[in-house]
């Protein structure tokens, strides 16, 4: 009897220890997940299915051929733009999955296809004659939302890409396409569309830091007459950020530092946001104390990233004989139907 009780006690002790360890690990995992301003975007967020055929598949050429057939026999200009937006989203999700599978070189080959889709959308938006039709309004809303989400994916891809300078250039081009689309309407509509788009971004810890970074990137590209709308949207995002910061306990102020250190995006914009918060007295004392160090780390990371891009741009480019020619042919057929 005593032996059974002894065994039972040992089992109970081991169970308690295991439970305590699992709780601690879960807590650590939760803490780690909130230490970054990393908002992951998946296929569902873009309204598409997860790709079953990736660019490294022998069936990928057939998939691209079928896309070209659909493009060729689509005649409505807004429907064409919607199809291109869907294809652009699919290319990014394909790249994301390839990188997660360790196939970085295959992923880098897809970026040109994404860029062509964005160029096609840009051309079609420029040619829109009835910008205030219901269908055009809905598309512009969707384009604004998806372009911000695309930017989040591109930033993630850029971290792993062997050609970060190419990803950076495409990311800038996509943002310019968004700014041109936003500028097609007046300032009130522009602000409303933009704020609606950033509101669709998945909630995350202090996500307004990321929203503000995107808004500042847009400010650099929109026409002068559209800047007031961007600045008003920034002011509203800054107010929301202040509210987020106020909800943090003083002991959690170091989380802001950790998140900014690990966040994706333009470090200069994050420094600008920090300065605005400091000038308005909206930063916790702990963050203010560490502010010079945070800024220095952000500057160092920016320098390292820029140096990496310079190093990659200096390397001789390899001839890419495996790049899919079906995308070119489908685009050419699509453009010829327009003409």
Q: What is the mean pLDDT of residues 220-242?
A: 90
Distance in angstroms (rounded) separating the CA atoms of residues 154 and 167:
7
Give tens-digit pLDDT for 269-313: 999 998 998 898 888 777 788 888 888 888 988 898 888 888 877
Give tens-digit pLDDT for 18-34: 444 344 444 444 444 44
pLDDT of residue 281: 83
End-to-end Cα spacing for the chain: 92
pLDDT of residue 311: 80
Give tens-digit pLDDT for 31-45: 444 444 557 889 999
Between 225 and 322, the higher pLDDT residue? 225
Residue pair 17/72 in contact (Cβ under 8 Å)? The answer is: no
Q: 80: left (phi > 0), else alpha (psi -120 to 50), else beta? A: alpha
Q: Kindly write down the DSSP assignment for every residue of 47-91, as one continuous string.
A: T-PPPSS-TTSTTHHHHHHHHHHHHHT---HHHHHHHHHHHHHHH
- pLDDT of 17 higher than 50: no
Between 288 and 94, the higher pLDDT residue? 94
Which residues are CB-neighbours of 249 under 8 A, at least 6 positions away?
none
**Dihedral, 56, 61, 63, 64 alpha carbons, nearest 10:** 110
Q: What is the mean pLDDT of residues 255-268?
A: 79
Distance in angstroms (rounded) separating the CA atoms of residues 328 and 215:
33
- pTM summary value: 0.79
Helices 164-182, 134-160: inter-axial angle, 10-degree rounding: 160
């Amino acid at each position: 009897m005593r032996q059974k009780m002894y065994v039972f006690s040992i089992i109970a002790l081991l169970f308690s220890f295991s439970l305590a360890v699992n709780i601690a690990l879960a807590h650590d995992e939760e803490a780690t997940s909130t230490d970054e301003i990393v908002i992951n975007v998946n296929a569902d967020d873009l309204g598409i299915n997860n790709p079953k055929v990736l660019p490294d598949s022998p069936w990928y050429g057939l998939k691209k051929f079928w896309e070209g057939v659909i493009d060729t026999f689509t005649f409505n200009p807004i429907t064409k733009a919607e199809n291109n937006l869907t294809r652009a989203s699919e290319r990014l999700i394909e790249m994301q999955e390839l990188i997660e599978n360790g196939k970085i070189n295959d992923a880098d080959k897809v970026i040109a296809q994404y860029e062509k889709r964005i160029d096609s959308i840009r051309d079609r938006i420029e040619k829109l004659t009835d910008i205030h039709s219901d269908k055009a309004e809905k598309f512009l809303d969707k384009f604004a939302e998806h372009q911000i989400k695309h930017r989040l994916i591109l930033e993630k891809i850029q971290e792993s890409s062997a050609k970060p300078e190419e990803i950076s250039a495409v990311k800038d081009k996509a943002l310019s396409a968004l700014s041109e689309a936003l500028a097609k309407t007046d300032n009130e509509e522009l602000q409303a569309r933009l704020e609606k788009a950033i509101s669709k971004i998945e909630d995350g810890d202090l996500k307004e830091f990321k929203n503000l970074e995107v808004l500042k990137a847009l400010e650099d590209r929109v026409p002068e007459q559209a800047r007031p709308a961007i600045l008003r949207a920034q002011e509203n995002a800054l107010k929301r950020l202040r509210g987020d910061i106020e909800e943090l306990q003083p002991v959690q102020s170091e989380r802001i530092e950790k998140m900014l250190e690990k966040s994706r995006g333009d470090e200069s914009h994050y420094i600008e946001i920090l300065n605005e918060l400091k000038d308005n007295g909206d930063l916790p004392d702990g963050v203010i104390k560490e502010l010079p160090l945070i800024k220095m780390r952000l500057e160092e990371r920016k320098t390292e990233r820029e140096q990496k891009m310079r190093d990659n741009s200096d390397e001789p480019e390899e001839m890419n004989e495996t790049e899919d020619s079906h995308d070119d042919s489908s685009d050419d057929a699509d453009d010829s139907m327009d003409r």
